């Protein structure tokens, strides 16, 4: 019905007394401003007592007279809307598309939603089967299911901690295992936050993906302004990598040794970071060697963004990776993508390139923007469904690679409102699997569907 409860009650009363001959529509007397169109919208819920019954709720709002008509997808005639929830039975298994037509001023707008019905009734959120209550990590049997956290959130208890434990089996630190946090001053390391994250993972039988030893965006100021010789700089980097990797030997499964080394200018040369300036073009190889020497068993990754969307950057990345020979175990393709791109073909190209090199593939930093063009102020059903389809596509591509190339798929955040993208792009955004109330979104079910 109408979102504004006060208006709803008021206009329901008016409606009853108006003895309307347009029975079924929600009436709001025309105001001074007449909109040009009214956007159709509705929600649905499955009855808690009868899983074959759906309640449809017309949420269309407007300040002019409009007619609302339903098609329940059951093959019958269209039915006029009536005030209150509408109860519809779906007894047979299958997929049904429900359409709401809203007619205003001779114009018709529609909203559609598809539901699925299996032998147990209407599938919650469209996800059928016993997996409806299954966790991500239980469903993904062949690779680690990762997300990020922060030391202050891990042991705070509450839903964040519960979701980490119930859904995921791999943790990446969002920012506390980067150089500016672990090596804040020339004289001292600070592993307190990293220790908390690694300790939590150990206590809860989870992997830790270490991210990231070297990243130009998390270099401490004292390193940026290093005053010693180049040889002293290199010795410092060697000490940092050796100290860090040794500390977490046997506790951290894998490290991003170098993150985002490639520049976005033509040809994607190496970014002109302080590491390149002081240690030369082969600084990446040196860093991998330091890490390898510290822990022969830990898995070493190179991680970068736009690996699917840019074929030229991907080519530059593979050149860099090929040059590392046996020092590297895998490639992290950051999956900061959008509901409408990159395409499945582009994502598959990244997977194929990694698989053909017999390397492990990390679909890292997955978040899927629902609002890349800033055309939404709230997450619509349509966009949420498109996002769900993209999650399904990404997971399905990952799940189809050979077992020996599988490693982990890591989502970059738990709740929408905690995503780094909101600040980064300055737009409203809902890119993750859980909404701000920790409710599973259609995106979550898309992830599960990708595993089927």
> What amino acid positions are annotated as catalytic residues?
260, 365
Nearer to ligand XIL, 259 or 273 (CB): 259
- Give backbone dihedrals phi and psi of 295, rounded to 5 degrees, phi first: -150, 100
Whole-number minimum distance, CB 287 to ligand XIL, in Å? 16
Q: Return residues touching ligand XIL (CB under 6 A).
A: 174-175, 259, 334, 365, 420
Whole-number minimum distance, CB 189 to ligand XIL, in Å? 20
CA distances from 224 to 34, 185, 271, 305 (A): 59, 12, 14, 23
What is the C-alpha to C-alpha distance for residues 211 and 353, in angstroms, rounded to an integer?
22
Nearer to ligand XIL, 167 or 174 (CB): 174
Nearer to ligand XIL, 139 or 370 (CB): 370
Nearer to ligand XIL, 307 or 397 (CB): 307
Whole-number minimum distance, CB 176 to ligand XIL, in Å? 10
Taking the alpha carbons of 328, 330, 334, 337 in that order, is the dihedral positive or negative? positive
Q: In sequence order, what are the beta bridge partners of 210?
A: 255
- Kind of pairing between the strands at 144-149 and 406-411: parallel
Whole-number minimum distance, CB 115 to ligand XIL, in Å? 35
Whole-number minimum distance, CB 375 to ligand XIL, in Å? 24
If phi > 0 it is left, if psi is from -120 to 50 it is alpha, else beta; for residue 31 that is beta
Nearer to ligand XIL, 365 or 385 (CB): 365
Question: How many other C-beta atoms can be found within 10 angstroms of the C-beta atom of residue 435?
Answer: 17
- Give backbone dihedrals phi and psi of 254, rounded to 5 degrees, phi first: -160, 155
Structure tokens at 202: 């150990």
Rg (CA), the chain: 26
Nearer to ligand XIL, 173 or 387 (CB): 173
Q: Which residues contact 277 (CB under 8 A, 6 or more apart)?
A: none
Say if CB 268 and CB 261 are below 8 A apart. no
Side-chain half-sphere of 290: how many Cα atoms within 13 Å?
Answer: 24
Whole-number minimum distance, CB 143 to ligand XIL, in Å? 20
Taking the alpha carbons of 361, 434, 72, 24 in that order, is the dihedral positive or negative? negative
- Exposure string of 248-285, with b = 16+ CB inside 10 Å and e = fewer, is beeebbbbbbbbbbbbeeeebebeebbbbebbeeebbb
Closest residue (Cβ) to ligand XIL? 420
Taking the alpha carbons of 191, 192, 194, 195 in that order, is the dihedral positive or negative? positive
Whole-number minimum distance, CB 203 to ligand XIL, in Å? 24
Nearer to ligand XIL, 241 or 335 (CB): 335
């Amino acid at each position: 019905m109408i979102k504004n409860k006060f208006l709803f009650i008021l206009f329901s009363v008016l409606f009853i007394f108006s003895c309307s001959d347009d029975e079924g529509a929600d009436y709001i007397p025309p105001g001074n401003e007449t909109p040009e169109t009214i956007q159709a919208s509705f929600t649905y819920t499955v009855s808690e007592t009868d899983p074959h019954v759906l309640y449809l709720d017309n949420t269309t709002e407007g300040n002019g007279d409009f007619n609302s008509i339903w098609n329940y997808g059951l093959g019958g005639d269209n039915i006029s809307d009536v005030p209150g929830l509408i109860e519809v039975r779906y007894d047979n298994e299958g997929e049904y598309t429900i359409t709401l037509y809203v007619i205003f001023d001779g114009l018709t707008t529609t909203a559609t939603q598809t539901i699925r019905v299996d032998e147990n009734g209407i599938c919650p959120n469209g996800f059928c089967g016993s997996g409806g209550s299954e966790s991500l990590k239980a469903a993904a049997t062949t690779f680690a299911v990762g997300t990020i956290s922060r030391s202050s959130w891990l042991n705070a208890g509450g839903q964040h901690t519960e979701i980490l434990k119930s859904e995921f089996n791999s943790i990446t630190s969002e920012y506390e295992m980067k150089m500016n946090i672990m090596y804040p001053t020339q004289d001292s390391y600070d592993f307190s936050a990293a220790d908390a994250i690694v300790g939590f993972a150990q206590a809860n039988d989870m992997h830790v993906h270490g991210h990231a030893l070297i990243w130009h965006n998390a270099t401490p100021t004292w390193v940026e302004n290093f005053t010693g010789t180049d040889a002293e700089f290199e010795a410092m980097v060697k000490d940092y990598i050796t100290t860090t990797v040794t500390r977490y030997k046997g506790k951290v499964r894998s490290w991003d040794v170098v993150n985002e080394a490639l520049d976005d200018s033509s040809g994607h040369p190496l970014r002109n970071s302080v590491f390149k300036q002081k240690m030369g073009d082969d600084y990446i190889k040196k860093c991998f060697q330091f890490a390898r020497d510290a822990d022969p068993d830990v898995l070493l990754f190179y991680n970068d963004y736009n690996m699917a969307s840019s074929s030229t950057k991907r080519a530059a990345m593979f050149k860099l990776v090929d040059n590392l020979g046996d020092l590297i175990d895998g490639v992290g393709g950051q999956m900061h993508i959008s509901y409408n791109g990159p395409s499945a073909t582009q994502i598959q190209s990244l997977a194929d390139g990694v698989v053909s090199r017999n390397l492990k593939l990390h679909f890292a930093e997955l978040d899927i923007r629902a609002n890349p063009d800033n055309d939404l102020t709230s997450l619509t059903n349509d966009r949420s469904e498109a996002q769900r389809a993209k999650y399904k596509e990404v997971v399905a591509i990952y799940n189809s690679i050979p077992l020996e190339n599988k490693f982990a798929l890591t989502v970059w955040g738990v709740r929408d409102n905690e995503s780094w993208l909101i600040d980064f792009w300055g737009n409203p955004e809902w890119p993750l699997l859980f909404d701000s109330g920790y409710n599973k979104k259609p995106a979550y079910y898309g992830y599960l569907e990708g595993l089927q």
